[in-house]
Amino acid sequence: MIRRTEGQPAPLLSIQDLVTTIATDYGIVRAVNHISFDLQPGRTLGIVGESGSGKSILAKSILNLLPKNADISRNSGIWFDGLELNKMSPKAINGVRGQRIAIIFQDPMSSLNPVMTIGNQIAESLIRHLGMRKKRARNRSVELLKSAGISNPGQRIRQYPHQLSGGMRQRVAMAIALACEPDLLIADEPTTALDVTVQAEILDLLAQRQTQKNMAMILITHDLGVAAGRADDIIVIYAGRIVEQAPADQLFSFMRMPYTQALMNSIPRLENRPHTRLNSIQGRSPDLTNLPRGCSFAPRCPQAQQRCTRQTPPLSSDDRQDHLFACWYPVRGRN
Ligand SMILES: Nc1ncnc2c1ncn2[C@@H]1O[C@H](COP(=O)(O)OP(=O)(O)O)[C@@H](O)[C@H]1O
Ligand code: SF4
Ligand SMILES: [Mg+2]
């Protein structure tokens, strides 16, 4: 199901009924289960959900970075600026990745080459994608590191990833991702491993670059607090499905899903003393090889009633067309 507001321009990215499964020894994992959404140029979409809910598999589906045992269903559509990404050859998609769509991961080491200086890594991307000459690429690398908030970039370009702190490495990964001025950046938990101050600095830098270049961003996080104030729209995912979707201000002031509310209550709070136990969501996330009948959240939901275990609630709206939720007994507000 696609919701498109009339009069809106064509989306930059359109995901249509995406289903991604993974074949494992213990069964078929339904990691992404009928997900659809549109993203307009320059906008930020927050994708929020607990660990294991399918966020990374969704991101990897877009860029054909899936593990070998994963499969995108034939009826799925992944459209980017007129290109149907999931029908393109690996070679053609390589041309899009890194140039028009870039991705950064939680662990920057997964995208950095440990045996290549960071200067050469950035320059390589500029030479490959933009056809820059070596000298020009090297100068540009220094500028890019500087704009990623790295001090002494002239010296840093000669260093290897292991010589940098986690926060520095993520800045380098970001500089590489932004080198070709992509139209879309997918940031998959980019700051999860970093402390709060570095996290805010990196997210601020991304926001700054976004405004300068009108870049769209998908900001993936398990922490609803990270998406707050940074995303224009938010999609909440549970067990591979969208369970709530709304403009961010609407979602935060008037959330409808008990699951979103539980995510909200599990945000770490600054006023809490260090090492305070988080209010994590009770119960275990469902087995994606064998989803229960009805609402997948029912075994953990404080609002659950009989109907919830019998019928799957559809993703639909009531008084606001742009606020979708999949719940038989929605809540009103934060609680
Ligand atoms: N390579 C893999 N092989 C088997 N199962 C996987 C693999 N990668 C992810 N999964 C499963 O797919 C589901 C979604 O994973 P993922 O997208 O990584 O979650 P998230 O990013 O939200 O934490 C999980 O149940 C996970 O165990
Ligand atoms: S449908 Fe029922 S179980 Fe599912 S979130 Fe809503 S109230 Fe809870
Ligand atoms: Mg993930």
Give residue 204's pLDDT: 93
pTM as predicted: 0.93
- Write out the DSSP string of 14-77: EEEEEEEEEEETTEEEEEEEEEEEEE-TT-EEEEE--TTSSHHHHHHHHTT---TTEEE-TT-E
Give residue 269's pLDDT: 63
- The phi, psi pair for 119, rounded to 5°, reads -60, -45
Give residue 76's pLDDT: 97
Q: How many whole angstroms separate alpha carbon 51 and alpha carbon 19? A: 19
By DSSP bridging, strand 216-221 and strand 184-188 are: parallel
Q: Which atom of ligand 2 is nearest to the CA of 329?
A: 7
CA 122 to chain centre: 23
172 pLDDT more than 50: yes
**pLDDT tens digits for 106-160?**
988 888 999 999 999 999 989 988 899 999 999 999 999 999 999 999 999 999 9
The secondary structure of residue 299, as a DSSP letter, is: G
Under the banding of pLDDT at 50, 70 and 90, the label for residue 2 is: very low
How many angstroms does the Cα of residue 56 sit away from the middle of ligand 3? 4
Give the CB-side neighbour count of residue 117, counting CA atoms within 13 A: 14
Tokens of residue 111, six digits: 């995208």
How many angstroms does the Cα of residue 34 sit away from the middle of ligand 1? 16
Q: Which ligand is nearest to the CA of 236?
A: 1
Q: What is the mean pLDDT of residues 270-279?
A: 52
**pLDDT tens digits for 287-300?**
999 998 999 999 99
Token pair 């321009």 in the structure block, residue: 9
Give residue 285's pLDDT: 87
Pick from 247, 249, 285: nearest CA to 266: 285
Q: Which atom of ligand 1 is nearest to the CA of 288?
A: 25
169 pLDDT more than 90: yes
Q: Which ligand is nearest to the CA of 105?
A: 3
Average model confidence (pLDDT) across the chain? 91
Beta strand residue intervals within the chain, DSSP E: 13-24, 27-39, 44-48, 70-72, 77-80, 83-84, 101-104, 184-188, 216-221, 233-238, 241-247, 324-325
Q: How many whole angstroms separate alpha carbon 244 and alpha carbon 327? A: 9
Give residue 272's pLDDT: 53
Give residue 1's pLDDT: 37
Nearest Cα residue to atom 3 of ligand 2: 298
The C-alpha R_g of the chain, in whole angstroms, comes to: 20
What is the CB < 6 Å shell around ligand 2?
257-259, 295, 297-298, 301, 303-304, 308, 313, 327-329
Q: What is the mean pLDDT of residues 66-78?
A: 97
Kindly report the number of other CB atoms within 10 A of residue 9's CB atom: 7
277 pLDDT more than 60: no
Give residue 226's pLDDT: 92
Q: Which ligand is nearest to the CA of 260?
A: 2
| Alpha-carbon separation of residue 61 from 19, 67, 176, 240, 331 (angstroms) | 9, 10, 21, 13, 32
The answer to whether 43 and 14 are in contact (CB under 8 A) is no
